[in-house]
Chains A and B, each alone.
Chain A
Amino acid sequence: MVDMSVKIGAVTLKNPIMPASGCFSTDLAQVMDLNRLGALVAKTVSREFRTGNPPPRAAEVEGGMINSIGLPTKGIDYFLQHQVPDYKRFTPPLVGSISATTIEDFEAMARDVAKSAIDVLEVNISCPTRDPKGGNFALHEEHTYNVVKLIRATTDKPMWVKLSPNAGDVVAVAKAAERAGADALVVSNTILGLKINTDTFRPAIGNKFGGLSGPGIKPIIVRMVYQCAKAVKIPIIGCGGIVKVEDVVEYMLAGATAVMIGYLTFRNPTGMVAIIDGLEQWCAKRGFARVADLTGAMIDEAPMETFAAAAAPIG
């Protein structure tokens, strides 16, 4: 028996596998048992109704996909009255994700949403296709600090802050979020990208730029998780390009306590459940009694061959 549970601050998950915001809804109950998941993560909600960006909203790229959904939402009232109860039909803890364009509205959103039955508040300050004039606070450490600080003052709910890989200095932003009172960091949202249709010479998606996700971004995000884990004490949730058990192991070795999965669900709708089972087997096979022991277990020294090669004279 492998102990698959992990602790993220005050929240205990029965396993480290969660869906990523925007890539999950109770609609997935069409194909899988949602109660198997470590947590449920709702799509980011804003105060007012938003239609989102014009279609086409996503395109395939080598290594994954690019999307510009643009955070469509039915608004906070609908979320609280309909979506929260809908998620609460299932047993895993519920992570509610919020977004806003001003820090005042972020504070008000946090207050309103934290009062609901959600178990964790995820603060999405990193949507790359959000209106460029606002909302993408995670690009800057002081903006991150200010918004997280204000939200922290309004609620005691566990607060996870979702960072952006598009920030120049992600580690500085991570430290700012920690200083401001975040309980955990989600590393990370998508990488801003562009795909051009070579038949039409136009952007492949309606919003021109979009967020890159999928297996192609994984090494970048694993590196960021590693760097952030070295720099902060709060738990880190790795997110980006996970498609198999070994990817989860890699994130945990780099320092993640748990992970979120987006793209894989599009390719294999029951992939998250397969990974939960596969991860347990992997741990059993490798003699890990607790999956949590993987966190930060990476050995920093380069592989032995490097020393062997250096020692062996060439020619």
Chain B
Amino acid sequence: MSAEPFASAPYVVGESARPVTVPHIPAQELPAQELPAEESLCPVVSHDWVNDEYKHLVVEASPKALTVTPGQFFNLLCPSPDVGELFFRRPQSVYRIDRERGQIEFLYKCVGRGTRGLATLEKGDELNMVGPLGVGFRLDPAWRQIVVLGRGVGIATLGPISQAAREGHVGVTAILSARNPDFVMADGFFREAGDVVSVLDTDGTSAVENVERILQSLIVQRLADAFFTCGSNRLFQLMKRLGKAHNIPGQVAMEQVMACGLGPCYVCVRTFEVDGKKELRRVCIDGPVFDMQEAVGW
């Protein structure tokens, strides 16, 4: 396995900084193997454009990275796309977990410096990832049919839970919302897991009212034991409302700008409401997956 755990701090600003290598840590002080997350260097297996904004990245993952569960994320050290440096990692949830081949896949949208830098990685390069991090999706054994509703690149985050549902013989209906057919990535992948409904901006089918009609009909057909969503506040609000009205449990994967990704810094907070009382929770460690009825939105 070439993705060895990586214990150094190879911070590089200019040339004076050399990687700090750790040849020897006394055995009794070695970090316990059961630490849930680690910093690892993962070779890039493939990295292709899916459309003109989204890229699909496959890496060879360390054994610990492979323990990732649906909805969890990695905090990635992206190469800089320009003469400056990047000072934060960028969180990306896993899009697909291939334990047999020892690979983890990401599907991401290029939006700014970090993701543009990430896009420069080529096959054979190494990606420094910290993870797996956060609380992922949960599947209740009582659920026989779930509905996943994703918008844009939020669809990526819903991949692994659909995969897990299929493996657990749970029926999946995936509603994938996007600007146009080019941006309905991976509908083939979701089709393996269950039924796929694509809704688009180009033909108006992505309108909230239409998605509501689709959800209502799934509820009537008893195909909605639980809701899962990611990527759109409007669709989240819709699912939350229907979930509340019909007593359907739901989970939402949320995003927020992060610094540490591990819990200490309180940069990544969002508002939640429990029994009428508002509170702040950290997306990186209390989430990124939260109870739909407790989340306020974004």
Contact residues of A with B, CB < 8 Å? 22-25, 27-33, 35-36, 43, 51-52, 55-65, 67, 69, 72, 214-215, 243-246, 263-271, 273-275, 277-278
Q: Are A266 and B36 in contact (CB under 8 A)?
A: no
Give Cα A43 to B264, complex, Å.
8
Can you name the residue of chain A whose Cβ is closest to the Cβ of B22?
A277
Chain A residues with CB under 8 Å of B257's CB are 55-59
Q: Which of B7-15, B92-100, B148-156, B200-208 contacts A (4 or more CB under 8 A)?
A: B7-15
Q: Are A62 and B31 in contact (CB under 8 A)?
A: no
Of A62, A63, A214, A273, most B-chain CB atoms within 10 Å: A273
Give Cα A214 to B87, complex, Å.
9
Q: Which of B174-182, B211-219, B266-274 contacts A (4 or more CB under 8 A)?
A: B266-274
Check A69/B266 contact, CB under 8 A, given A31-B35, A270-B7, A271-B11.
yes
Give Cα A273 to B37, complex, Å.
15
- Asked whether any CB of chain A lies closer than 8 Å to the CB of B280, the reply is yes
Q: Are A23 and B265 in contact (CB under 8 A)?
A: yes
Q: Are B265 and A273 in contact (CB under 8 A)?
A: no
- One digit per residue, 1 when the CB lies within 8 angstroms of any chain A CB and 0 when it does not, for chain B 1-44 equals 00000011111010011101110110001111001111100000
Check A60/B260 contact, CB under 8 A, given A23-B265, A52-B266, A270-B9.
no
> Which of B280-295 touch A at CB < 8 Å?
280, 285
Q: Are B263 and A264 in contact (CB under 8 A)?
A: no
Can you name the residue of chain A whose Cβ is closest to the Cβ of B285?
A27
Is chain A's binding surface mostly helix, strand, loop or mixed?
mixed
Q: Are B265 and A69 in contact (CB under 8 A)?
A: yes
- Asked whether any CB of chain A lies closer than 8 Å to the CB of B253, the reply is no
7 closest Cβ pairs, A-B complex: A27-B263, A271-B9, A278-B20, A243-B11, A25-B264, A274-B9, A58-B267
Q: Are A57 and B266 in contact (CB under 8 A)?
A: yes
Q: Are A264 and B9 in contact (CB under 8 A)?
A: yes
- Asked whether any CB of chain A lies closer than 8 Å to the CB of B141, the reply is no
Give Cα A69 to B267, complex, Å.
6
With A56-B267, A72-B266 already in contact, 19 other A-B pairs whose C-beta atoms are closer than 8 Å = A23-B265, A24-B264, A27-B285, A30-B263, A33-B29, A56-B256, A57-B269, A58-B88, A65-B259, A72-B280, A215-B13, A243-B11, A243-B17, A264-B11, A265-B260, A271-B9, A274-B7, A274-B8, A277-B22
Give Cα A8 to B249, complex, Å.
54
Chain A nearest CB, measured from B82 CB (Å): 11
Can you name the residue of chain A whose Cβ is closest to the Cβ of B260?
A266
- One digit per residue, 1 when the CB lies within 8 angstroms of any chain A CB and 0 when it does not, for chain B 110-136 equals 000000000000000000001001000
Give Cα A23 to B263, complex, Å.
9
Chain B residues with CB under 8 Å of A245's CB are 20
Q: Are B29 and A268 in contact (CB under 8 A)?
A: no
Chain B nearest CB, measured from A297 CB (Å): 19
- Asked whether any CB of chain A lies closer than 8 Å to the CB of B85, the reply is yes
Chain A residues with CB under 8 Å of B265's CB are 22-23, 58, 67, 69, 266
Chain B residues with CB under 8 Å of A273's CB are 7, 22
- Asked whether any CB of chain A lies closer than 8 Å to the CB of B276, the reply is no
Q: Are A57 and B267 in contact (CB under 8 A)?
A: yes
26 A–B contacts, CB within 8 A, in A order: A22-B264, A30-B37, A30-B263, A31-B38, A31-B130, A33-B30, A35-B29, A55-B257, A55-B268, A55-B269, A55-B270, A59-B257, A60-B86, A60-B87, A63-B85, A67-B267, A214-B87, A215-B13, A243-B17, A244-B17, A244-B20, A264-B11, A267-B77, A270-B39, A277-B25, A278-B21
Give Cα A28 to B256, complex, Å.
19
Give Cα A99 to B260, complex, Å.
23
